[in-house]
């Protein structure tokens, strides 16, 4: 694919929309087979598909899940996105996390690296009932 034909805004929108719509196979297809990921909570690189599977388990355990207040900066083969993640626990309690994600893309537009930074203290509220 020609690098100039790649629309990182569109690819990023589709990636996050797939997750918010719980279309996990579509999101997984956007990852390069060798993509790596890191969350600030764990501090080590993992297979990006493993991170998405963990996220899927978390999201599927929630009553609601949405991205809000999205802010994006598009660079050359990289996107930085800040957003609020609103998750509603099964008991009806809303938890809102401020998250920053850095996506890096290969020349074909597949995600090769995903770095996620979130408030670990705020994330504890997802599991307290």
Q: Give the tens place of pLDDT for each residue, 49-66.
A: 999 998 899 899 899 899
Q: Give the tens place of pLDDT for each residue, 27-42.
A: 999 999 999 999 888 7
pTM of the model: 0.88
Residue-number span of the structural domain to which 25 is assigned: 3-126
For the chain, the domain total comes to: 1
What is the rounded distance in angstroms from the CA atom of residue 3 to the CA atom of residue 87?
35
User: Domain holding 57: CATH number?
Assistant: 3.10.450.50
Nearest 10 degrees: Cα torsion 82, 95, 40, 38? -70
What contacts 118, CB < 8 A, 6 or more positions away? Answer: 39, 40, 41, 85, 97, 98, 99, 100
């Amino acid at each position: 694919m020609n690098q100039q034909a790649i629309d990182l805004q569109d690819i990023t929108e589709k990636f996050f929309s797939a997750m918010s719509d719980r279309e996990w196979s579509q999101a997984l297809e956007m990852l390069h087979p060798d993509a790596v990921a890191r969350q600030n909570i764990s501090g080590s690189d993992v297979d990006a598909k493993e991170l998405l599977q963990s996220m899927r388990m978390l999201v599927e355990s929630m009553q609601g899940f949405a991205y809000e207040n999205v802010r994006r900066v598009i660079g050359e083969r990289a996107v930085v996105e800040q957003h609020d993640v609103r998750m509603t626990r099964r008991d009806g309690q809303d938890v809102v996390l401020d998250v920053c994600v850095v996506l890096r893309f290969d020349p074909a537009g597949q995600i090769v690296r995903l770095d996620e930074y979130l408030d670990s203290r705020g994330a504890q509220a997802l599991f307290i009932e």
